[in-house]
Structure 1
Amino acid sequence: MITGEIKNKVDKIWETFWTGGITNPLTVIEQFTYLLFIKGLDETETTKEKEAEFLGIDYVGLFPKDKQHLRWHRFKQLGSAEEMYNVVSNEVFPFIKNLHGKDESAYSKYMGDAMFMIPTANMLAKIVDGIDNITMKDRDTQGDLYEYLLSKIATSGTNGQFRTPRHIIKMMVELMKPTPEDIIIDPAMGSAGFLVAASEYLRDNHNDLFLVQGLKEHFHNTMFYGNDMDRTMLRIGAMNMMLHGVDNPNIDYRDSLAEINRDKEQYTLVLANPPFKGSLDYEAVSNDLLKIAKTKKTELLFLSLFIRILKPGGRAAVIVPDGVLFGSSNAHKQIRKEIIDNHKLEAIISMPSGVFKPYAGVSTAVIIFTKTCAGGTDDVWFYEMKADGFSLDDRRSPIEQNDIPDILTRFNNLEGEKEHKRTEQSFFVPVEELRENEYGLSINKYKEIEYEEMVYEEPIVLVNKIKDLETEVNNGINELEALLSEKL
């Protein structure tokens, strides 16, 4: 997690924005991100230059010879704040907006209408100085910094747009183990947290993919897909992906649930935490999705979407509110029946209600399934997460209790789970039992509580003990009175 020192530095920069008149949290994040991006470009360029020099090969960088003064380490050293402001606003910013030229890349599409909004030279100088003091040597720090910035969006959660905690994203990615051949999508991507985490997993576990030209091209151009309806988040997501080393992610402005989205059987892996507070009119929803479950609830419609867009054999790990697991409406039952009977439901990991605090106290679960179009659900694995390494109040302070390592260990050895009793933290439930319970997927429906019989002493014995204690107290009071009388 991000350190207290970095938090303090970010808070000071945030205060500079605020006192300078930029008070919209998304605008602050956007402007902050542009400058982080500019700094990151320069650091990446420096690293590649050193590598090329070490290997004795030529390197054609992002910054042409006549644009070297646009690099972070150069313009931050300019003599005056006004001079730096002119370079950044009139040269650096247009340069990053047009990095991909006229290419139809996600970056060029969503940076096209980006605006530099820092109003004064002194304000820019303070912000540049503050960012320059933040060390971002590794991708983890960079990701944590993004996480902390996004946590400051006070409006998060008002439309069901919860920021998914980074450690939960990482857990879901590690459960699914993306492969170099996967085609990965998040149809409600926000800042692209799931896509970034998947790219990091592949770098850490399949680094050899960059030695195979076809796989390398796939990684940079055809592996990652994301949709969102907020252009600001699309810009932040595009920069986030580029800073994390994905050159050309397929990020689109799109209402994933609308008729305009024609995606069908295109992807092999869905990772998502879709909005689950919304309710749409039937006219606004694709007819294909309503065929699976006629509903206005976004959380159910997104599950229908995941089924449609996955290729046969494709997998999904997605966050759903608890209501999806036990809701009694026809639509709730239809979507659960569809996944269980026509595909392969593998796991339900229930999470405590504090995971999304301070935005919401809603209880959620991770649902994992594979699209088969031919059934295959056998025994479904249930796990009750009680702690995720952070307190479950609004402060979300780090604590020792953390079930995530246990979840990963057990999920990777499901054979060893088969003998577990319903009184334990994880266990299997056979599909026949799910069907008997109207396809209910709430862990509370299946877990058993072991009651320990308490044996108490006879009432008369307890009464005598109370009398003995009373006698002792009275004796003590009498002794104290005697001592006080002697002193008087």
Structure 2
Amino acid sequence: MSISSFVKTIQDIMRNDAGVNGDAQRIEQLSWILFLKVYDDREKVWEIRDEKYQSIIPEKYKWRNWAIDDKDGDSLTGDDLLQFVNSELLPTLKKLDVDENTPIHKEIVRATFEDTNNYMKNGVLLRKVLNVVSEVDFNDPEERHLFNDIYEKILKDLQSAGNAGEYYTPRAATDFIAEVLEPKLGERMADFACGTGGFLTSTLKLLEQQVDSVEGKEKYNHTVYGIEKKGQPYLLAVTNLLIHGIDDPDIMHGNSLERKVTEYKEKEKFDLIMMNPPFGGSELPLIKMNFPSDLQSSETADLFMSVIMYRLKENGRAGVIVPDGFLFGTDNAKVNIKKKMLTEFNLHTVIRLPHSVFAPYTGIHTNILFFEKTQPTSETWFYRLDMPEGYKNFSKTKPMKSEHFNPVREWWKNREAITIDGFDKAKSYTPAEIGKNNYSLDLCGFPQEEEIILEPQELMTSYINERTELNQKIDRVLTEIQEMLEGEK
């Protein structure tokens, strides 16, 4: 079955179900169904490798024993199927027994289903969805490769599914950052807000080419690590890694900011960190106390930058997407974070990205910071990546592509200052020069405000998200004022 046919068939079935409301719920519904199918296919492999293998899923609730239609008239459907899923299957998976000795590949089943719901109300339609998914054999290399593309399409659909778009970073960006950082087998890579696992799989795609032995496969299986706070993207990320052949997806369901950054031990640090930290949001005052007083901030992007610096190994490398607000912000926390980065790390490159990279989820301008824990910064190169010729903006139908990074690739190998029409497109600055600029990294920016033209639906989504971001900013400022007033009492 082709990519478009698979996705369209399932979408058409679900649209006829009164219980599924919109793309976000359709994707969430499909996500847990796909997880169980993928997990069952992986378990068949584990059973062959180890005849003593014991599944954490009770026999009755394995995909092979309830979801497959043998065309014998005995398969669950209609109200019987709904009763089974709602009253037996999901409650059982939510309460599976796990402890500190439970292997990761078993523990993830319970963690995956903690926040999972069945939205479908028509058992006949649910049976049709199960039959379509059952057609894919995830142990067949050709079908698994095809499904990687299908899954990518499903993840892209998140961008137009309301706030779910925040979990998806354009694949062109994740692939470019992984390419620049050049992961090697034996190194450990992390994303502390991994969303659907884009950076993890971009890393795996590069490492897959380096696997040429059993030992190499074992290293590959334990290369990437992720943490995701929200249930839906966590489920998607775990499934994503299973599809990529990772037997023990090392992804935690939790908040990376809930631990004191000064407590991390060497074994909890990483050779590579790639991230697109959540930005525009805010954390509770209690979370800020996990950071040194000079680095405390209510802005999530600021806090994640601190986490990254504390969890990067000696000689480690990082590629991080940040909003413009981090670059030119001059409040105490932002200034101190940038000082720390320049004095304790080598911030060697800042790539200014064109607008609408994340459209329609957000129109905020973004940038990529590349830095290493090797030596203090001696110079920082800035490069402005302009909108490709023929594009006025990126959109769902015209997303950013890998080739759009080609100008950066060409410049990266032979760096030189570039000035166009009197404006700097590429230039290096010393830490002293940046310090004189009050540690603003708003350099080699775009000479004028770029025109953003979106389709009506994308424009509406963009306005809704901008309003949400503004409300979050107002709430954050009000919280800070309240804290100041309480401190004066």
TM-score calculated relative to the size of structure 2: 0.72
> 5 Å matches for 1:254-403?
254-259=254-259, 262-265=263-266, 266-291=269-294, 293-372=295-374, 374-387=375-388, 392-397=393-398, 402-403=403-404
- Picking from 3, 6, 19, the partner of 1:21 is 19
* Paired-residue identity, %: 23
Q: CA deviation at 1:368?
A: 0.8
Counterpart for residue 206 of structure 1 = 210
Q: SS in structure 2 opposite 1:155?
A: helix
Q: Which amino acid aligns with 2:419?
A: R
CA distance in 2, matches of 1:69, 1:286: 44
Q: Check conservation: 1:429, 1:446, Cα contact below 8 A.
A: no
CA distance in 1, matches of 2:315, 2:62: 51
Q: Pick closer, same or farther for the CA change 1:224–1:80 going to 2, 3 Å.
A: same
CA distance in 2, matches of 1:42, 1:184: 27
Q: CA deviation at 1:443?
A: 3.2
> 5 Å matches for 1:32-47?
32-41=30-39
Count of aligned pairs: 424
> 5 Å matches for 1:139-158?
140-156=148-164
Give 5+ residue unaligned stretches, structure 1: 449-488
Q: CA deviation at 1:92?
A: 8.2
Q: CA deviation at 1:119?
A: 3.5
Q: CA deviation at 1:277?
A: 0.7
Q: CA deviation at 1:336?
A: 1.7
CA distance in 2, matches of 1:409, 1:59: 52
Deviations 1:126-159 (A, max 9, x none): 32344467876435414413323423431236xx
Give 5+ residue unaligned stretches, structure 2: 137-142, 449-489
Q: Check conservation: 2:277, 2:321, Cα contact below 8 A.
A: yes
Q: SS in structure 2 opposite 1:347?
A: strand
Larger radius of gyration: 1
Counterpart for residue 243 of structure 1 = 243
Q: Pick closer, same or farther for the CA change 1:197–1:404 going to 2, 3 Å.
A: same
Q: Which amino acid aligns with 2:21?
A: T
Q: Which amino acid aligns with 2:227?
A: N
Deviates more, 1:240-249 or 1:128-137: 128-137
CA distance in 2, matches of 1:73, 1:409: 54
Q: SS in structure 2 opposite 1:191?
A: coil
- Please say if 1:83 is aligned against 2:76: yes
Q: Check conservation: 2:328, 2:441, Cα contact below 8 A.
A: yes
Q: Check conservation: 1:70, 1:87, Cα contact below 8 A.
A: no
Q: SS in structure 2 opposite 1:417?
A: coil
- Picking from 28, 39, 43, the partner of 1:30 is 28
Deviates more, 1:387-396 or 1:301-310: 387-396
Deviations 1:80-116 (A, max 9, x none): 4853576894698799889998724251341353455
Q: CA deviation at 1:272?
A: 1.0
Q: Check conservation: 2:349, 2:382, Cα contact below 8 A.
A: yes
Q: Which has the higher contact order (CA 8 A, sep 6+)?
A: 2
- Please say if 1:173 is aligned against 2:181: no
Counterpart for residue 484 of structure 1 = none
